[in-house]
Amino acid sequence: MLDGKKTLFSGMQATGNLTLGNYLGALKNWVTISDEYNCFYSVVDMHSITVRQDPATLRKRARTLLTLYIAAGLDPKRNCIYYQSHVSAHAELAWILNCFTYMGELNRMTQFKDKAAKHADNINAGLFTYPVLMAADILLYQADVVPVGIDQMQHLEITRDIAQRFNSVYGEVFTVPEVYLGKVGAKIMSLQDPSKKMSKSDENPNGSIYLMDDKDTIMRKCKRAVTDSEGVIRYSDEQPGLKNLIDIYRACTGKTADEVVREFDGRGYGDFKAAVGEAVAAILVPLQEEQARLAADKAYLDGIIRENAERAGYYANKTLRKVQKKIGFPERVRKA
Ligand code: ATP
Ligand code: LTN
């Protein structure tokens, strides 16, 4: 606990172009709760290299993502916004935690199975131990809460197991974190296949609305979204495409599902899809403008990046030193 507030940690990978799913499932919730906690929001670029990345693209996307955190409303003076690769304690703690994690546990991770199937030519050890680096991220800052989408629950569970295992041997070293799931937007599905989550790495660009899509593209993608032939606007599992659009609309407007169903009672899917497009654009267009404004101010951003990496490093190293001492690494000898 810092300054009487609990600590929050979360991160996003700088791979692919961010989608509306990332925004509604993660970023938007981060902003809503950021006042209540001491927050660490990392651009987890070390996780990104578990799949091959073009260096220039990775660098550019990492910076865009960091800028988007700020554009979305996270104040970088009050929230620690930084690149994971700038704080070497992440890698150091991950190594230690690797020695407290079982192969059997990692073998059960569905994200690993999915990514291994998708990148069959590059099933590297980093992809396998991805959850351990994620545990290190969270435990380094003694985070009490971790806001993530539902797809990351399994990684949160393993983080808790690792923390508890470590604590049971060495005493209360780590805070055991709780997951924080946003109520609306926890899982936004693909517009083209509502059984799959909307994902940055989807090959079909029409399944996802990207945060950088212009209004025309947003409207077009919403219009083309897969629905059904029932023709009645209801919020039901039997109409998954429509349900997903209602979820998107709710998340963008703050309305309840009942209110949405009433609003569109007796109207066609075409009308509703256009309204969804408008609601999404009303959120994304101002976000894009703010992102562009910030990106143009290089000196300001560089200052934020430097200061926040230092701040993150301070807290991370405090935990790391404690862990190193507990496990019996020789103490550092200070100059007399
Ligand atoms: P990839 O497809 O490359 O695995 P992703 O789009 O799933 O990426 P992540 O970087 O894994 O994105 O996720 C960043 C954050 O966004 C996480 O907290 C995750 O739970 C959330 N998130 C991702 N996709 C969705 C979605 N469709 N709906 C709600 N939240 C999501
Ligand atoms: N695995 C997460 C990104 C991530 C993360 C974290 C989220 C890496 N480290 C720590 C929360 C806390 C993802 O793919 N969304």
**pLDDT for residue 186 is more than 70:** no
Residue of 255 and 203 predicted with greater confidence: 255
Number of Cβ within a 10 Å radius of residue 42? 27
Question: What one-character DSSP code corresponds to residue 8?
Answer: E
Known catalytic residues are 115, 197, 200
Gap between the Cα atoms of 280 and 218, Å rounded: 7
Beta partners for residue 189, in sequence order? 197
Contact 192, 205 (CB under 8 A): no
Contact 51, 58 (CB under 8 A): no
Q: Pick the atom of ligand 1 nearest to 111's CA.
A: 4
Q: What is the pLDDT of residues 32-80, one digit of tens each?
A: 999 999 999 999 999 999 999 999 999 999 999 999 999 999 999 999 9
Q: Which of 7, 13, 45 to mutate to test the pocket of ligand 2 (most atoms within 8 A of CB)?
A: 13
- The CB of 193 under 6 Å from ligand 1? The reply is no
- The CB of 146 under 6 Å from ligand 2? The reply is yes
Phi, psi torsion values for 330, nearest 5 degrees: -60, 140
Question: What one-character DSSP code corresponds to residue 155?
Answer: H
- Residue 17 banded pLDDT, cuts 50, 70, 90: confident
- Residue 215 banded pLDDT, cuts 50, 70, 90: very high
Number of Cβ within a 10 Å radius of residue 164? 11
Residue nearest to atom 9 of ligand 2 (CA): 134
- The CB of 134 under 6 Å from ligand 2? The reply is yes
- The CB of 127 under 6 Å from ligand 1? The reply is no
Alpha carbon distances (Å) from 245 to 76, 112, 172, 194, 211: 32, 29, 45, 10, 17
**pLDDT for residue 184 is more than 60:** no
Gap between the Cα atoms of 224 and 240, Å rounded: 15
